[in-house]
Structure 1
């Protein structure tokens, strides 16, 4: 997430003799007209080279008018930044935090024990900070670190392959975010009065899952099925479990239900694989678009999202929650419409537009399911 410039340094030659003569050399003055002409030629040559690069790879050329807002969110179309703290924030991809924050909300709602008082609100905010900025930030930074070779092909102007941040700074950030997130998890267990530190172990397990997802030798993301399911479970299951464990009891039926919902998360994760086909294929990563081709993979993607939600609606209906089941089915309809309108037409061109349009209905469905299980 950069082309490499080979810089050749030539050592100056040293001449020695038995006798040293001090020669006073007259300075050589380049005529101003020649200097001006040379400079014009250099500028034109640079412009020509830049235009050639952009014509060969327009999608990989740095955006002159990139958005600072996109840069802070860590999404494509970002401006090139040199400010260290902005680059650090970009690595954590704040745009990926909301699903985790929402997962905590769903878990708290499913517990049936959340109350609108200062203490419970404060607990939930700390849990959101742990799940979002700290542990998701750790996951995203770690993933970018191990993806730096792929990003050098797919997105060479990302912070790490472009050299906007040093390797030591990246590694330091990974450790600070990881330890900070685990520290907050331990604090939440103490605050909730847990005899067994369930939130801490959930955070530790999620952090380990993030590591084996991105790092060799396991590198789960090399397999499109396992990697994307792990990603879906991390974004839907883990924050839900943390929120529910913080305010109530995490039960086996909720674990199974959220793991089922994580199949929808698998589908969401596939959406992001289409833009990386070139680099994934070059490095031997078997993402689903690489393994099955774009046409088949996009139907696997929408099938995983839609069939999962229909199955959960069926579960709620069977559990005697018909109104919640109908509400969930109603939220699936606009998602299907947006799939045909955007994603199935061109999953690369419309990936952001599709996710911005359809995913709000999916996350509302998560809350509907959480409220259904709490009653």
Structure 2
């Protein structure tokens, strides 16, 4: 049965498919990054638990979920090649329901972001614009193996980290907080590059110039490892500069564990990329939280 036939057979979206489209498994990184921002602000989370909870929901289910829905809608032709059983190409999300869901979640995200004050709302607006710029024509930054992963890394790690710190601080975060958020955002470019391995064939056929397509899997994997590792080396140096040797040692240990995992990855990048995204990324975000605790007592200047 063709995809078109299936689309016409279903009028309403399958609720299970709708949940799959917004991919709950992808919500964790921005939620974690928001909590890193909360911790790094130095403000006791219990003093503003409502803002903490609202920000976590906004970063994960709402903005990240919306970005996944928008990406699935804009990628429906690519998914028909790579993953024909996904909600839209399989027909479980029929017609334009994928678009309507993404637009509804966009409006809901902005409404919730408004409740977080000017800093939270401004960050939400940036996240929403970035989500559509990544996926939708005519911008579609996803076509670039450099700009696309960079934008996603910024929105998955840096922007929610900044937002959590700004909302709790009720103002601009301290400079060390901004430095850490930026460095971990840069490193996330490598994570996003590895995530592109699963769509290698479809990207090649539809003109998406991901780094696995343009450089080949082996070179792209090596580059991703360097991009993930070097910012963490700078984080370690910054923590030592800020007189946080124990925290620097903790980040060093998780980086060494990542290096061991990277050696496994580089033996067979195409086969091991999903494994690394479960193993190495967990270590990466562990280092994020260690660094967040390190700077919670640091003032505006390092």
Structure (1 or 2) with the greater helix fraction: 2
**Residue 133 (structure 2) aligned to one of 212, 226, 235:** 212
Q: Distance in 2 between matches of 1:290 and 1:170?
A: 27
Alignment of 1:245 with 2:173, yes or no, is no
Question: Is the 8 Å Cα contact of residues 3 and 156 (structure 1) preserved in structure 2?
Answer: no
Structure 2 counterparts to residues 145-184 of structure 1, below 5 A: 145-184=73-112
**Residue 365 (structure 1) aligned to one of 279, 282, 287:** 287
Q: Distance in 2 between matches of 1:348 and 1:238?
A: 29
Structure 2 counterparts to residues 220-369 of structure 1, below 5 A: 220-248=141-169, 249-251=171-173, 253=175, 254-341=177-264, 343-369=265-291
Q: Distance in 1 between matches of 2:180 and 2:289?
A: 13
Q: Any gaps of 5 or more consecutive residues in structure 1?
A: 8-81, 190-196
Q: Distance in 1 between matches of 2:164 and 2:45?
A: 13
TM-score by length of 2: 0.91
Alignment RMSD = 1.9
Q: Distance in 1 between matches of 2:24 and 2:271?
A: 22
Aligned to 1:94: 24
Report the CA distance between 1:260 and its aligned residue: 2.1
Report the CA distance between 1:317 and its aligned residue: 1.2
Report the CA distance between 1:349 and its aligned residue: 2.2
Q: Distance in 2 between matches of 1:107 and 1:228?
A: 21
Q: Distance in 1 between matches of 2:151 and 2:2?
A: 31
Report the CA distance between 1:333 and its aligned residue: 1.2
Evaluate the alpha carbon distance shift between residue 244 and residue 217 of structure 1 in structure 2; reply closer, same or farther with a 3 A threshold: same
Alignment of 1:104 with 2:34, yes or no, is yes
Question: Is the 8 Å Cα contact of residues 143 and 214 (structure 1) preserved in structure 2?
Answer: yes
TM-score by length of 1: 0.74
Greater relative contact order, per chain length (Cα 8 Å cut-off, separation 6+)? 2
Report the CA distance between 1:255 and its aligned residue: 2.9
